[in-house]
């Protein structure tokens, strides 16, 4: 079974930074598509970024390119989301999700925003960007 635990959310001023962590409990850590998705009230869940673990290929949504960075620590089985230059519109609950196991980097890059592609989810962590 795969379990995911997010941490690192909080309140930050516009222009500030936060780093989220997603600890993955699984037998292996290779060949997973780990995606960060976010949801704010009244909006659909949105794919933010993803990484195909092991290989380390990364993918980003247009709204966060150049501001957010996803990375992995394979020894700790943890995926990180470094968020810089935060904006009020980044306010949301952020979820990490695992899926497309063994599917390859192409599918990870094409489907990281699709909820249905991810059977394993963390509990979510709140990020609030406000002055």
- Give 89-122 pLDDT, tens digit per residue: 999 999 999 998 888 899 999 999 999 999 999 9
Pure H helices in 9-117: 105-111
| SS3 assignment, position 14 | coil
Q: Is the dihedral of CA 110, 120, 19, 52 positive or negative?
A: negative
Output the furthest CA–CA distance in the chain (Å, rounded): 42
111 φ, ψ (degrees, to nearest 5): -120, 10
pLDDT computed for residue 102 by the predictor? 87
pLDDT computed for residue 95 by the predictor? 97
pLDDT computed for residue 27 by the predictor? 79
């Amino acid at each position: 079974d795969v379990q995911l635990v997010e941490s690192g959310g909080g309140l930050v001023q516009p222009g500030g930074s936060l780093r989220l962590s997603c600890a993955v409990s699984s037998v292996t850590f290779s060949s997973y598509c780990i995606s960060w998705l976010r949801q704010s009230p009244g909006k659909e869940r949105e794919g933010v970024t993803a990484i195909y673990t092991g290989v380390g290929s990364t993918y980003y949504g247009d709204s966060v390119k150049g501001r957010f960075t996803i990375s992995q620590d394979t020894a700790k089985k943890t995926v990180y989301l470094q968020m810089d230059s935060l904006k009020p519109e980044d306010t949301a609950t952020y979820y990490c999700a695992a899926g497309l196991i063994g599917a390859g980097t192409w599918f990870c890059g094409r489907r990281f925003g699709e909820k249905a592609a991810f059977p394993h989810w963390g509990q979510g962590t709140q990020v609030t960007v406000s002055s």
